[in-house]
Amino acid sequence: MPDEPAATRSNDLIAEDILAGLEAAPEIDATEVDIDVDRGVVALNGTVDTYAVKELAGAIAQRVAGVGDVHNRLRIRKDAGVLPDVRFKRLRIAK
C-alpha cells in the first residue's frame, strides 16, 4: 500500500492498511474482524460467514506491506450453515 519500507512500518499503519483492505472487500463485514499486529505478525480474530471469506481476509492481510505472518483465527458463523472446521472434516472423510 504505502511506499514505506516494510521494516519501518508501525503496527498501527499495518493494521490501518489491513482494515482498509477488509473494508474494500464487499464479502467481508470488517466490523466483525479484530486486527492485532505485533512487529509484523498479524492476528485476525472474529466471526465471518464462510470459509471462503476467512481465507480472503487472510490473503488481504498477507498482502499488506510489513506483514511477516498472519494467524487467521477467524471463526465461521454457525448460523451461516457452515461448520467451523469444514476443511478438517473433508480431510477426515477423504482418508
Q: Write the pLDDT tens digit of every residue in 49-94.
A: 999 999 999 999 999 999 999 999 999 988 755 455 555 544 444 4
Predicted local confidence at residue 90, as pLDDT: 47
Look at the alpha carbons of 54, 46, 69, 64 in this order and tell me if their dihedral is positive or negative. positive
Tell me the average pLDDT across 13-42: 96
Query: Which domains are seen in the chain, by residue range?
Result: 6-94 (3.30.1340.30)
Percent of the chain with pLDDT over 90: 71
Place of cell 519501518: 8
Top-ranked range on mean pLDDT: pick from 4-18, 22-36, 79-93? 22-36
Q: What is the pLDDT of residue 83?
A: 52
pLDDT at site 8: 72
Side-chain half-sphere exposure of 18, counting CA atoms within 13 A: 31
pTM for the whole thing?
0.75
Mean pLDDT of the residues in the chain = 84
Best CA proximity match to 19, nearest among 6, 33, 3 = 33
What do you get for the CA distance between the two ends of the chain, in Å?
Answer: 42
